[in-house]
Amino acid sequence: MYGFVLSVTLFCLSLTSSLPVQGESLTRAKSTLRPTVTPLQRTGVTIVFTDDNKHLDVDAYKKLLPADWFTTLPLLARYRIVLTANENVIQYCPYTGQRQVHRVVINLLVQVFDQNNERRLNSHLFYGTSPARCASTERFGQTEYTKYLYGPVPKETEVTKWLIAQMKRWIK
């Protein structure tokens, strides 16, 4: 699974000019128009979740992080935190009738980006724990051929503790 995040850099375009004074040609006045591009002031944090199978409790992360970090306009956030849940099958348990159980560990990649220059400031991979072992017998539905046993996601408190420590370096 790959997570993609599209970020848009916003700019203000302002034209500075003076109106032609009496006797000055309109051509000269047009040539004094000089566009100046000024980046908008970015503040705060936006958080992006890449989790196709909905393993992450989005609200739990937001509640554990300082509320004053977040901006009401995510496109104007200075920092972008990206949390990506990755599933890793650690064991395939075969059963009769071409049925199987997949034991899956869920790891969480956390990345922090500065949206002013799209530079990754830091990242950390949090490892999930293994799910229960496969049983010696397993009951499958008539049309069911594959089951999944998921281990728990890394603890939100562990992830947010790391994030807070990292973000204190940039958020003043």
Domain ranges (residues) in the chain: 9-40, 41-167
pLDDT band at residue 86 using 50, 70 and 90 as cut-offs: very high
At the topology level of CATH, where does 41-167 sit?
A: Rossmann fold (3.40.50)
Residue in this structure with the two tokens 């739990």, named with its chain if needed:
60
pLDDT band per the 50, 70, 90 thresholds, residue 15: very low
How would you label 3-37 residue by residue, b for 16+ Cβ within 10 Å and e otherwise? beeeeeeeeeeeeeeeeeeeeeeeeeeeeeeeeee
How confident is the model over 88-112, as a mean pLDDT? Answer: 95
Q: Is the pLDDT of residue 74 over 70?
A: yes
- At 156, give phi and psi (nearest 5°): -60, -40
Residue carrying structure tokens 């049309």: 143
pLDDT tens track for 136-151: 999 999 999 999 999 9
Two tokens, residue 65: 């992080």
